[in-house]
Amino acid sequence: MFYLTLFFQYISQYLKTRFQYRADLFVEFFSDLLSQAVNFIFILVVFGHTSLLHGWNRDEIIFIYGFFLVPYAVFSSFFNIWDFNDRYIVKGELDRILTRPIHSLFQIILERMELESLLGAVTGLAVMFYSGSRLGLEIKWYDPLLFVVFVGGGALVYGGVFVLIACISFWADARTSIMPMMYNISNYGRYPVDIYNRMIRFVLTWILPFAFVGVYPAAYFLGKKDWFGYAFLTPVIGIVFFVVSVMVWNEGVKRYRGAGN
């Protein structure tokens, strides 16, 4: 209850701060929408030259992209740790975090949250409804519950992978380009993995399981029965990767010796 109360207090303070600069907030909303529109147009351009992509039609690819946007929006709102090495290790801000009687990762997640990124979830839902209506998909009574579970699992997959990448800084505190590279790799999860070769499919499923953010859970709603097993593994993979990342984080914090001079 203490952590839950603190969570809502952080959100309250964040909203007060953001609404002080409404124009800046509007610009961020617009830039996010523009970025999503560019990706959407890319899909349309691809299918302007072909009717199928390894057995997937245009509306199915659009549905996967729409689903991908929802867990990605949740991740982007709470896991903005792309500059963890530079800000918290190199510049020593982790020293400030560790003086408080609250888990360090919890603090960093909350003080770096960007709730405006949740707009991407609204866009994702709109894209899913658009493509779903064209595909004639039927919604069963338990589908909304499974959707929430799959979205939570996908967000935890993203969170777990990027927390693990951030943990490298505890052992090698020099600036590195791994985090931006990983953001680029994660984009492969928004497309069907069977369009890639076997090695890439293995990596996107078991090593860097970004396929569980988009294509695998989306395949359930598309009725791809051959992939149902992967779809229901989504929350399991998410929990496993996130728990492992927290364990590695805790070990990394034990090794941290503070900022040098």
Kindly indicate the confidence band of residue 117, based on its pLDDT and cuts at 50, 70 and 90: confident
- The predicted pLDDT at position 232 comes to 96
With CA atoms as reference, report the closest residue to 119 among 23, 12, 30. 30
- Cβ contact 165:178 at 8 Å: yes
Mean pLDDT for the stretch of residues 171-199: 78
CA-to-CA dists, residue 5 to 9, 11, 112, angstroms: 6, 10, 18
Q: What is the pLDDT of residues 191-244, one digit of tens each?
A: 888 888 889 889 999 999 999 998 999 999 999 888 999 999 999 999 999 999
Q: What are the distances in angstroms from CA 204 to CA 26, 86, 108, 200?
A: 34, 27, 27, 6
Q: What is the mean pLDDT of residues 99-126?
A: 88
Is pLDDT at 46 greater than 80 in this prediction?
no
Range from 72-76, 117-121, 220-224 carrying the lowest mean pLDDT? 117-121
Average pLDDT value over all residues in the chain: 85
**What is the rounded CA–CA span in Å between residue 137 and residue 60?**
11
The confidence band for 109, taking pLDDT boundaries of 50, 70 and 90, is very high
CA proximity to 220, closest of 204, 234, 233, 231:
231
Q: Is the pLDDT reported for residue 34 higher than 90? A: no
pTM: 0.86
Answer whether 76's CB lies under 8 Å from 161's CB: no
Longest dimension (CA), the chain: 63
Nearest-angstrom CA–CA distance, 211 and 177 = 23
pLDDT score at 87: 85
Among 4-13, 21-30, 90-99, where is mean pLDDT lowest?
21-30
Res. 175: pLDDT tops 70: no
The answer to whether residues 175 and 90 touch, using CB atoms and an 8 Å cutoff, is yes
One-letter amino acid for residue 20 of the chain: Q
Quick one: pLDDT at residue 251? 95
